[in-house]
């Protein structure tokens, strides 16, 4: 992917790089930035199977960052219009606006290595909630090799009720968006 992004930068042609963003109504208790290969969408539907065959895998970049006292989630990707990354973004966009912040938090624990938490928030969670989030974080590693392919939109552990104030798409509309 680096070579592809370098070529885009050198040519100033970003037509193959897609981005979408959501501004939440409040500051969420964590931030993250990184890239991952989406194996399933936010509803648990398999998108690509890693480690099998020699097909190239889509990569999705995700950043959840503070912005003017609120949180902004930005997803960026390359790949086919109906590829795994695009379908992941569509599944996130199709969530009800009152589910998106909660799913963004759960996804951070599942997909991001560079995760920063507000200590008072983490310490204030019930022990069972911390154990659930730690299990999601370790899923797919040597310590817990099986990934969790569940419906994050129906997560019983509610971590945020923040609403979406604004949604952005920088290369056209997201189909299936609310």
What's residue 49's pLDDT?
73
What's residue 146's pLDDT?
62
What pTM does this model have? 0.85
What's residue 174's pLDDT?
47
Give me the residues of the chain with pLDDT under 70, please: 1, 50-56, 140-155, 171-178
End-to-end CA distance of the chain: 30
Residue 36 bridge partners (DSSP): 60
User: Quick one: tokens of 108?
Assistant: 């951070």
What's residue 132's pLDDT?
87
Angle subtended at Cα 103 by Cα 81 and Cα 97, rounded to the nearest 5 degrees: 80
What's residue 54's pLDDT?
59
Kind and range of the H or E run holding 111: helix 97-111
């Amino acid at each position: 992917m680096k070579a592809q992004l370098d070529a885009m930068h050198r040519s100033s042609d970003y037509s193959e790089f897609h981005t979408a963003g959501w501004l939440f109504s409040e500051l969420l208790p964590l931030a993250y930035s990184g890239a991952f290969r989406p194996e399933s969408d936010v509803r648990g539907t398999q998108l690509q199977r890693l480690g099998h065959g020699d097909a190239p895998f889509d990569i999705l970049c995700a950043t959840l960052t503070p912005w003017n006292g609120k949180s902004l989630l930005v997803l960026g990707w390359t790949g086919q219009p109906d590829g795994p990354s695009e379908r992941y973004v569509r599944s996130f966009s199709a969530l009800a606006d009152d589910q998106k912040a909660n799913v963004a938090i759960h996804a951070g624990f599942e997909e991001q290595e560079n995760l920063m938490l507000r200590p008072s928030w983490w310490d204030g969670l019930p022990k069972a909630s911390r154990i659930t989030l730690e299990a999601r974080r370790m899923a797919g590693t040597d310590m817990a090799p099986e990934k969790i392919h569940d419906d994050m939109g129906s997560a019983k552990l509610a971590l945020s009720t923040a609403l979406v104030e604004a949604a952005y798409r920088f290369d056209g509309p997201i189909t299936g968006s609310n």
